[in-house]
Amino acid sequence: MAPGFNDKVLKCIPAEVFMISSSQDNQISNEAYNAGGFELPDPAGKSGGACTSAILDVLYKRGHDVGKMSWIDVLKDMYETLKTQGFADQVPQLSSSRWIDVHQPMFIVPPKTGVRRAMLIGINYVGQKGELKSCHNDVENMKDYLIKAQGFRQTEMLILKDDGHHTSPTKENIMNGLIRLTQYSQPGDVVFVSFSGHGGRVVDETGDEDDGFDESLIPLDFQENGQIVDDDILDMFVKRLKGGVTCTVVMDCCHSGSVLDLPYYFAANGKGDSMQMEVHFAFDSAEKKKKVVSKSDDGGGVVARGGKSKKEQEAARLAAEKKAKAPKRTINEKPIEKLAPRKPTNKNKTAPPPPAPPQRCVIQ
Residues 51, 135, 254, 361: which is the catalytic one? Answer: 254
Determine whether 135 is an active site residue. Answer: no
3-state SS, residue 50: helix
Instruction: Tell me, yes or no, if 280 is annotated catalytic.
Output: no
Q: Catalogue the long-range contacts made by 40-46 (C-beta closer than 8 Å, 24 or more residues apart).
A: 40/141, 43/140, 43/141, 43/144, 44/141, 44/144, 44/145, 46/134, 46/137, 46/140, 46/141
Give the DSSP per-residue string, 133-150. Answer: SSHHHHHHHHHHHHHHHH
DSSP state of 360: B
- Look up residue 327 and give its amino acid: P
Please report, for residues 35, 141, 354, 355, the alpha-carbon distance to residue 31 in angstroms, rounded to integers and kept in the order given: 9, 14, 12, 11
- What distance in Å separates the CA atoms of residue 220 and residue 125, rounded to the nearest whole number? 6
Q: Torsion angle of alpha carbons 152, 153, 155, 160, nearest 10°? A: 50
Q: Residues 198, 247, 253, 255: which is the catalytic one?
A: 198
Rounded to an integer, what distance in angstroms lies between the CA atom of residue 257 and that of residue 251?
8
Amino acid at site 181: L
Q: Annotated catalytic sites, by residue?
A: 198, 254
